[in-house]
Amino acid sequence: SAVISQKPSRDICQRGTSLTIQCQVDSQVTMMFWYRQQPGQSLTLIATANQGSEATYESGFVIDKFPISRPNLTFSTLTVSNMSPEDSSIYLCSVLLTGGLAGDYTGELFFGEGSRLTVL
């Protein structure tokens, strides 16, 4: 399993500002993903955070709005830029573990507890 820590757990921000969310994992992982969950909605994938290269964004999400860094195999950040009230959501970090014995690999993704962002 993996322990994923996200900071901040929640924040209230003003319109037009930016906020950086951190995701720290207690073991090296190959894949890291960032999701958004708007109030009352399901999870939507924002991007795949690639170690050492630019993130891969899903349709509808762009780097200027959601810049992502992944400097190593245990850490990533997501920035929500120039925020508006529509950006009020829970942002979740997710990781894929590929270690372990052959046959134990389940393809399971582990999720952090999320960062609840409110934009006024």
Partner 1 sequence: DAKTTQPPSMDCAEGRAANLPCNHSTISGNEYVYWYRQIHSQGPQYIIHGLKNNETNEMASLIITEDRKSSTLILPHATLRDTAVYYCIVRVINTGTASKLTFGTGTRLQVTL
Positions in the binding site for partner 1 (CB under 8 A): 4, 30-31, 33, 35, 42-45, 48, 56, 92, 94, 96, 98, 105-114
Tokens of 69: 């860094």
Task: Tell me whether residue 42 is exposed, middle or buried, using C-beta atoms within 10 angstroms of its C-beta: 0 to 12, 13 to 18, 19 or more.
Answer: exposed
Q: How far is the CB of 98 from partner 1 (least distance, A)?
A: 5
Phi-psi region of 40 (alpha: psi -120 to 50; beta: other; left: phi over 0): left
Query: With respect to partner 1, which residue has the nearer C-beta, 5 or 82?
Result: 5
Tokens of 83: 């925020």
Q: How far is the CB of 21 from partner 1 (least distance, A)?
A: 13
Query: With respect to partner 1, which residue has the nearer C-beta, 84 or 98?
Result: 98
R_g over Cα of the chain: 14
Q: How far is the CB of 22 from partner 1 (least distance, A)?
A: 15
Q: How far is the CB of 15 from partner 1 (least distance, A)?
A: 25
